[in-house]
Amino acid sequence: MANKRIVLSSDHSALELRAAVAAHVTSLGWEVVDIGPTSTESTHYPTHGQAAAERVVSGECALGIIICGTGQGIMMAANKVAGIRCGVCSDTFSARMIRQHNDANMLSMGARVIGVGLALDIVEAFLSAEFEGGRHATRVAMIEPTA
């Protein structure tokens, strides 16, 4: 891992969960770069997904965690940024596998889908897994943008 900095963002639906994730990730020894928002006023998930993605592709942060109501919209927005591989997870198996097989550099979750306990387990599974390379590297290269 290039560094132990992780960017966190969400839309208005996930401020509480994002705060819990930030505390947990910090307790696991990561430096959290929380780019907001800080208000529960309705906002637009693409803005926050893309802003977090930019922190990852720039190299400032090694990984990112983003949250919206379902996790789906903010994941779609992040994946539009070249170099981002982001998956939505509602289970720990998928969270581990998107690191091991897909070299995911961002995790998305749905604050209206899962509870805080499961979300923190998912985060831990994502952060503790490592990309296995080998045949998976060939496949990951095949999903990189072509120009």
Q: Which residues bind ligand RB5 (CB under 6 A)?
A: 11, 13, 45, 68-70, 72-73
Residues 6 or more apart whose CB falls under 8 angstroms from that of 84 comprise 53, 56, 57, 78, 105, 106
The residue (of 11 and 54) whose beta carbon lies closer to ligand RB5 is 11
Q: For this structure, is 101 an active site residue?
A: yes
Rounded to a whole number of angstroms, the distance between the first and last alpha carbons of the chain is 26
Helix, strand or coil, per DSSP, at residue 134 = coil
The residue (of 110 and 127) whose beta carbon lies closer to ligand RB5 is 110
Between CA 46 and CA 127 the distance in angstroms is 24
Catalytic residue among 61, 68, 86, 89: 68
Q: For this structure, is 61 an active site residue?
A: no
The residue (of 49 and 120) whose beta carbon lies closer to ligand RB5 is 49
CB of 69 to ligand RB5, least distance (A): 3
